[in-house]
Amino acid sequence: MANMGEMESNMSSAQEKNPSSTTALHELPPNDEARPAVFSSTVQEILFVAVATMAIAMSSLLTGSVTVLTSQVQTDLGMTTAELTWLAGSSSLACGSFLLCFGRLADLFGRKTLFLGSLIFYAVFALGAGFSQKPLQLDVLNGVMGLMSAASIPPAQGMLANLYPRPSKRKNRVFACFSAGNPLGFVFGTIFSGIATQLFNWRASFFLLAIIYVVVVAVAIWVVPTDHGAKEPLSLLALKKFDVVGTILTIAGIGMFSGALSLGSDAPSGWKTPYVLVLLILGALFIIGFVFWERWYEYPLVPMFIWRDRDFSLVITILLLGFLAFPIMTFWISLFLQELRHYSALMVAVHLLPMAIGGILVNIVAGLIMHRVSNTLLMTIGATAYTGAFLLMGLQHSSSSYWAFIFPGLLLAVVGADFQFCVANMYVMSALPDDQQSIAGGILQTVTKLCVTIGMGISTAIFDAVEAGGPTSHGYFAGDAIAPYSATLLYCAGISAISIPLCAFLRIGRQGHGGNDKARAAVGKRSSWCGRRRTKQEVIEDEPMGSKV
């Protein structure tokens, strides 16, 4: 027996030194750090991740581009304030309304075709926007471009999640890069648009977007792998699984609610205007109806079980509070630099450049440390950085130094955005099974897009109220025209500060190391009943899995 024990010990030691020698005896776990087999080279893999990142950047690139050319477009096309508001909001409205719909389409009928088609038509409509001669034409084309961005994000995120299904350092790096597309897209949009507008005119900004995405399409045709997952044939069952009622409710609800928020500040009687109130109430009712429908329907568009996970709900809430402020801060800082400091579009882009550089560096750091550091700590750092950034910029005066207030504020803001989005992206993708990864991405992106619309509505109301009161003769901002801008930034600081104490209730450890097998098993268990109503016994068995709200 002693000899047998010694022999087993020697075999174990040999296996540790040369794992390949045990292949005949045991099935080895997959090498999570290896390149996915569908890619023939690391170059192809890198290009695919870059293409996916450009997909998530589509909407924010457009929003950033529009931000710095509003003044020139208004003069050239004679746009009213309302038409200018829709220029900035139509793409986000269309994107936010249709994300869940396209997420379900991608999961059911395949991701590659939808992904490539959305990229192609985005480039086509960007070219058309550059030739627009009327305000309505430009507004509509911006909305259609937002629709195309909604069609590209869920399949891109779904493909990434399927190619990197298990926690690993490689997956962390990939999703850190992918996550960077959302916050950095806005920043690079302002930079590219500023340069193009300064050198040529506002039309060149849309032509540049078209050129960029023609190149992206050419690369995507080569690097995007073929769908290997099961696809639903067109049938009544597929239509049932698509959840037509849920899709209509979410599009109508988010569309009406977001539209009311976009229209409220510029309506004839403000928020008291009848059509604004009707849209707001109907939108809220449709969203409430959507929640009740999803709890009852056999094949829900958004599986309601995910909200029972306390950490999932907290992560989404914390991210929501951050995105009620981050894009809003960027918009008002850009407007402040144009209106009060009279910077050209190019100079605005240059002064926002630290966000782009800092964002790239922060995402690299996030990809390297997510498997080493508690992700709860990263979310807390992000919430604190957000609050500090907005508070710093909100307390400046018109004559304050850029280097003392705006520069450090921009750097802190991207720390908050990138840390929180990276952590949320990884966690949300692990909350749903492999065949629902596109809808998981749709949930996350819908939250962020809806937050931009809500945040813009709230901040615009604050700006208008402070501006209507005229310059104050006493207090911190006495006689300073920056007061309404500062009010919007202090709103951002207040809303983001709420997320700091919420981080104390998070229980997210490290993501991307080998210790997440238990969590993956829980997801696998839930996936067995996802898409159908559970039995009473399954509900009872599921109670210990994760914490409840």
Q: Domain ends where: 283, 298, 313?
A: 298
How remote is the C-alpha of 248 from its chain's centroid?
22
| Burial of residue 490 (number of CB atoms within 10 Å: 0-12, 13-18, 19+) | middle
Judge whether 305 lies within some domain: yes
pLDDT beneath 70, residues of the chain: 1-33, 81-82, 85, 88, 228-240, 265-266, 431-438, 440-441, 473, 511-549
Q: What is the pLDDT of residue 184?
A: 76
Same domain? 353 vs 342: yes
Asked whether residue 142 falls in the same domain as residue 275, the answer is no
**Residue 392 and residue 408 in contact, taking contact as beta carbons nearer than 8 Å:** yes
Number of domains observed in the structure of the chain = 2
Give the CA count within 13 Å in the CB-facing half-sphere of 309: 21
Residues 364 and 455 reside in one and the same domain: yes
Is 218 among the domain residues?
A: yes
* Calpha distance 528→534 (Å, rounded): 10
Q: Tell whether 147 and 248 lie within a shared domain.
A: no
CA distance 521 to 217: 37
**Does residue 12 lie in a domain region?**
no
User: Looking at the domain assignment, is residue 98 inside a domain?
Assistant: yes
Would you say residue 9 lies in a domain? Answer: no
Q: Are residues 159 and 273 in the same domain?
A: no
Residue 415's pLDDT is what?
93
Q: Are residues 114 and 181 in the same domain?
A: yes
Residues in the chain: 549
135 close to 76: Cβ distance less than 8 angstroms: no
CA angle 199, 201, 202 (to 5 degrees): 125
4 lies in a domain? no
Domain match, 171 and 252 both: no
Q: Give the predicted TM-score (pTM) of the model.
A: 0.76
Side-chain-side CA neighbours of residue 423 (13 Å):
35
- Let me know if residue 54 belongs to a domain: yes
What is the rounded distance in angstroms from the CA atom of residue 98 to the CA atom of residue 378? 30
* Domain endpoint, select from 298, 313, 333: 298
Distance from C-alpha of 456 to C-alpha of 450, rounded to nearest angstrom:
10
Distant-in-sequence, close-in-space partners of 260: CB < 8 Å, separation ≥ 6:
276, 277, 279, 280, 283
Question: What's the pLDDT score for residue 533?
Answer: 43
My answer on whether 250 and 114 are in the same domain is: no
Domain-located, residue 486 = yes
Do residues 47 and 177 share a domain? yes
Q: How many whole angstroms separate alpha carbon 500 and alpha carbon 274?
A: 38
Say which residue the tokens 């379900």 belong to: 104
Please report, for the domain that includes residue 438, its CATH number: 1.20.1250.20
**What's the CA gap between 66 and 186, in Å, rounded?**
10
Q: Are residues 87 and 101 in the same domain?
A: yes
Contact (CB, 8 A) for 146 and 138? no
Domain that holds residue 253: 244-298
Looking at the structure, tell me whether residues 283 and 199 fall in a common domain.
no
Q: Which of 276, 298, 320 is where one domain is finished?
A: 298
Please give the full DSSP string across 493-542, using - where no structure is assigned. Answer: HHHHHTHHHHHTT-----SSSGGGHHHHHHHHHHHTTTTSPPPHHHHHHH
282 and 416 inside one domain:
no
User: Which burial class, exposed, middle or buried, applies to 249 when counting CB atoms under 10 A from its CB (0-12, 13-18, 19+)?
Assistant: buried
